[in-house]
Structure 1
Amino acid sequence: MLHNITIRLPEQVPPNISDERFGINGIRVSIAWTRIFPEGTGQVNPEGVQFYHDLFSACHAHGVEPFVTLHHFDTPLPLFEAGEFLNRDTIDAFVEYARFCFEEYAGEVTYWTTFNEIWADATNHYIEGTFPGGEKAQLHKCFQCEHNMMLAHARAVLAFKEGGHPGKIGVIQSLEYKYPLDENDPADIAAAKNEDVLQNQFLLDATFRGDYAPDTLEIAQRLTAVSGGELDIREEDLDIMRAAAKVNDYLGVNNYQCRFLKAYDGENDLHHNGTGEKGTDRFHLAGVGERVNKPGIPTTDWDWIIYPKGLFDLLVRIKLQYPNYKQIFITENGMGYKDALVDGFVDDAPRIDYVRQHLRWLLKAMELGVNVGGYFMWSLQDQFSWTNGYNKRYGFFYVDYETQRRIPKASAYWFKTVAETRRID
């Protein structure tokens, strides 16, 4: 199960972890860079350092393995103002922060993740404009950010291995299978390929190859030119990335939906549905394509497509295209919903069905030989969403934000049975 802590944690540690009725044996936790280095570099905050010692100790006391992420959309403000990961100085700062954490928490953390969702970080900053800066349709900045963050990942992986630290290290990518709306239309096929490279293949190549396949690079350079830029990819970058690709221990896959694409030759028209007003999301990206819904396939109130087979197709694709992969963890999968607390209980049957169907397709992928090390549900409890606030609830536990009371939803009891029986009903 998964939980990324964004609400009043210090006096609540660990509110749901300690409820051992629900069989929680793993939890995703992010270290806040600024809690360790308030300015991103330089002076260390000892109280912040101790906070995570206490948190990891609490996890272990309850038999819960912490999977620890170093960066989850939270670059320190001074580094953000200096250009974020478009500035190569931020790469250096990240690697030093990573080294500190590896040494400080050695023996307490077995599973390390460098970044959570490089694509989401890049697209929300430079394509969809939902993160600070609010830039839209800047394809060249998106690709450059992805490359630079993967270089930072590679350098951190090598620092971890060269330091001889115990445990494993990987990266979490936000991946969505891309289907052409019309499988017989070359233009729709091209649109699906464009967005696949933008979100998936560029990052998967960097993860498992350490460089970019010719077709990946050709599409990336063409799309970069659409917004008037060019890529800065240096041979010394690729040397580092190739070395890291050989020793990367696992890939975390965050997957909620797939996408259907059709050809598009108009102007940029981008609007993120962050309110749950169904039908308001628009993604028409010049040079790439248009995201569309496919008749007969349901969507959530936030216009996210519910198509569990997409997870299966994605995992099998990774196995076939990157045979050197070692292990995959499903590090996020879940359903945002407008949950209602009625008479002290939340009946979230749609969430149960969503998770059930995804677990079934995950099992099919495993039966075909995909090496899956574990599954993390997003999320253990309701929490803040970076682009949707608090009204989009994902948790197995309902959170009353006024009182901080946690109430198990129907899905918590259902998943408890799955965890205990290792069977999907």
Structure 2
Amino acid sequence: MKTLPKNFIFGGATAAYQAEGATKTDGKGPVAWDKYLEDNYWYTAEPASDFYHKYPVDLQLAEEFGVNGIRISIAWSRIFPTGYGEVNAKGVEYYHNLFNECHKRHVEPFVTLHHFDTPEALHSKGDFLNRENIDHFVDYAEFCFKEFTQVKYWTTFNEIGPIGDGQYLVGKFPPGIKYDLAKVFQSHHNMMVAHARAVKLYKEADYSGEIGVVHALPTKYPLDPENPEDVRAAELEDIIHNKFILDATYLGEYSEKTMDGVNHILAVNGGQLDLRDEDFEALKAAKDMNDFLGINYYMSDWMKAFEGETEITHNSKGDKGGSKYQIKGVGQREFDVDVPRTDWDWMIYPQGLYDQIMRVKKDYPNYKKIYITENGLGYKDDFVDGTVYDDARIDYVKQHLEAISDAIRDGAVVEGYFIWSLMDVFSWSNGYEKRYGLFYVDFETQERYPKKSAYWYKELAATQEIK
């Protein structure tokens, strides 16, 4: 039987926009998602899980079920309704109350400043493609660092990679632009500069807590490891989603191999980047200051060579086999491989998490420690007899925890795991049908019901034994 270390965090993850609801309550400013969901999808973020009002219930459940850490994000537009300027006192009060309740319930808050929800007033002016918004983010971060002294673990951004991917490649996030690789890389770069500046500010102010960043790191494999063209496709896909942002985080620059790949992708697809000397000064200043790296891991991908036109079909409704992903000059994802996959065509491959952790350890030895900040199985829960018998979710989490245990055995420093998600939340471009939570939420009544996985997780947290 595999085990996890004592003092390991057994956490649950949430995000403000996916959980809080109350999108117009107590002075909260709009975000781009508000209108984008109304215009493009079949649901909105109301009421979500009503965490805005129900957080005492959720934190009590966390305490009862052995969850001793929670990922929470601050909704930037609850603090600054237009992204900067006048502070919304009711928003500040809400987060003080929330963080105090966390400590009352002995659940350590790991707080993210930006989880996909730039205020609309800034998003409409280019989001992080607009360099002015880097300054606004750093100012917002500084306010939060000073104000919320209860918080000891800060994350600047959640998933810089999927933000650029969703906004400018797949087009499933606002503003819904597709196939613009230059915007993808520029968004990655500018957000990493914002991260670096916020980290430097935090460390130089000598706050007593820790600060890091959360990256989604889907592992990329060549369909045929003996085929150099498939190997190249996997490398290029990895640069888009992983290596570019990891280099910025821990090297403070982009390696020659990374930039060769970026330049190839842009030569084929068009566009150019604005990379400035002062950007790299900021990145290099912060590269050794990150106290931790959060890794969000759900899936791996298998890539084969491809020279045709770019075409991406997003499977938003869980219609298995409905996905298509091919980028000109990069490669094509192959879904028909001997690996289980979800209804949303996410390939279930725990070895990919092990490989990604060990890749960070090997390629970026100045990392200090890792938390697995998101991992879990989203599917169409069957609510029966007041619960969900989610054995598939238990099996998924168990296999990934075993991969983490193996990585720790092999020398990686991993100090916690946050299941996505603590309770059911709404899932961005996938709606309410895709559920991940330990606790089933009846979105009509907002009642919570522990799933079978919640009881399994409680025993895991109590024993550190993966069984």
Measured against aligned partners, the alpha-carbon deviations of 1:144-174 in whole angstroms (never above 9, x if no partner) come to 0000000000000011112221200000001
Percent of paired sites with the same residue: 53
| Helix, strand or coil at the partner of 2:117 | coil
Partner residue, 1:212: 254
From 446, 449, 453, give the equivalent of 1:411.
Answer: 453
Partner residue, 2:429: 387
Partner residue, 2:24: none
2: CA distance between counterparts of 1:277 and 1:293?
13
Partner residue, 1:378: 420
2: CA distance between counterparts of 1:356 and 1:384?
24
Measured against aligned partners, the alpha-carbon deviations of 1:84-115 in whole angstroms (never above 9, x if no partner) come to 10010010000000000000012x00100000
Measured against aligned partners, the alpha-carbon deviations of 1:209-232 in whole angstroms (never above 9, x if no partner) come to 111110001111221233321111
Partner residue, 2:223: 181
| Helix, strand or coil at the partner of 1:376 | strand
Cα RMSD (Å): 0.9
Partner residue, 1:314: 356
> 2:101 aligned with 1:58, yes or no?
yes
What is the 5 A alignment of 1:331-342?
331-342=373-384
Partner residue, 1:41: 84
What is the 5 A alignment of 1:286-297?
286-297=328-339
Checking the alignment, whether the CA contact within 8 Å between 1:181 and 1:294 is kept in structure 2 is no
From 117, 121, 136, give the equivalent of 1:74.
Answer: 117
Unpaired segments of 5 or more residues in structure 2?
1-10, 21-48
2: CA distance between counterparts of 1:82 and 1:137?
20
From 25, 38, 51, give the equivalent of 2:68.
Answer: 25
1: CA distance between counterparts of 2:65 and 2:279?
45
Letter in 1 for 2:145: F
| Helix, strand or coil at the partner of 2:387 | coil
Partner residue, 2:13: 3
2: CA distance between counterparts of 1:389 and 1:160?
36
Letter in 2 for 1:396: L
Partner residue, 1:161: 203
Partner residue, 1:104: 147
From 138, 153, 166, give the equivalent of 2:180.
Answer: 138
1: CA distance between counterparts of 2:374 and 2:197?
25
| Helix, strand or coil at the partner of 1:212 | coil
2: CA distance between counterparts of 1:295 and 1:219?
26
Shift of 1:245: 0.6
From 115, 119, 124, give the equivalent of 2:161.
Answer: 119
Letter in 2 for 1:398: Y
TM-score (normalised: structure 1): 0.98
Checking the alignment, whether the CA contact within 8 Å between 1:346 and 1:409 is kept in structure 2 is yes
After superposing the two structures, state which structure 1 stretch, 117-126 or 161-170, moved more.
161-170
Measured against aligned partners, the alpha-carbon deviations of 1:162-196 in whole angstroms (never above 9, x if no partner) come to 22212000000010111000000011000000000
Greater relative contact order: 1 or 2 (C-alpha under 8 angstroms, separation 6 or more)?
Answer: 2
Checking the alignment, whether the CA contact within 8 Å between 2:70 and 2:107 is kept in structure 1 is yes
From 315, 318, 323, give the equivalent of 1:281.
Answer: 323
From 368, 381, 386, give the equivalent of 1:326.
Answer: 368
Checking the alignment, whether the CA contact within 8 Å between 1:129 and 1:136 is kept in structure 2 is yes
Letter in 1 for 2:120: L
Measured against aligned partners, the alpha-carbon deviations of 1:382-403 in whole angstroms (never above 9, x if no partner) come to 1011110100000010000000
Shift of 1:342: 1.1
> 2:135 aligned with 1:92, yes or no?
yes
Measured against aligned partners, the alpha-carbon deviations of 1:299-347 in whole angstroms (never above 9, x if no partner) come to 0000000111110011111101111110110000000011011121211
1: CA distance between counterparts of 2:121 and 2:245?
26
2: CA distance between counterparts of 1:309 and 1:16?
32
2: CA distance between counterparts of 1:46 and 1:88?
27
1: CA distance between counterparts of 2:64 and 2:55?
17
Shift of 1:294: 4.8
2: CA distance between counterparts of 1:169 and 1:345?
37
Shift of 1:134: 1.1
2: CA distance between counterparts of 1:131 and 1:424?
36
Checking the alignment, whether the CA contact within 8 Å between 1:221 and 1:231 is kept in structure 2 is no
Checking the alignment, whether the CA contact within 8 Å between 2:398 and 2:466 is kept in structure 1 is yes
Checking the alignment, whether the CA contact within 8 Å between 2:424 and 2:438 is kept in structure 1 is yes
Partner residue, 2:37: none
After superposing the two structures, state which structure 1 stretch, 155-164 or 23-32, moved more.
155-164
Partner residue, 2:238: 196
2: CA distance between counterparts of 1:256 and 1:314?
11
| Helix, strand or coil at the partner of 1:390 | coil
After superposing the two structures, state which structure 1 stretch, 309-318 or 221-230, moved more.
221-230
Letter in 1 for 2:311: D
2: CA distance between counterparts of 1:136 and 1:207?
26
Letter in 1 for 2:422: L
Measured against aligned partners, the alpha-carbon deviations of 1:14-38 in whole angstroms (never above 9, x if no partner) come to 2122133300100000000000000
After superposing the two structures, state which structure 1 stretch, 200-209 or 9-18, moved more.
9-18
1: CA distance between counterparts of 2:449 and 2:341?
26
2: CA distance between counterparts of 1:389 and 1:10?
19
Checking the alignment, whether the CA contact within 8 Å between 1:140 and 1:225 is kept in structure 2 is no
Letter in 2 for 1:320: K
Partner residue, 2:404: 362
Shift of 1:13: 2.3
Partner residue, 1:129: 171
From 332, 337, 342, give the equivalent of 1:300.
Answer: 342
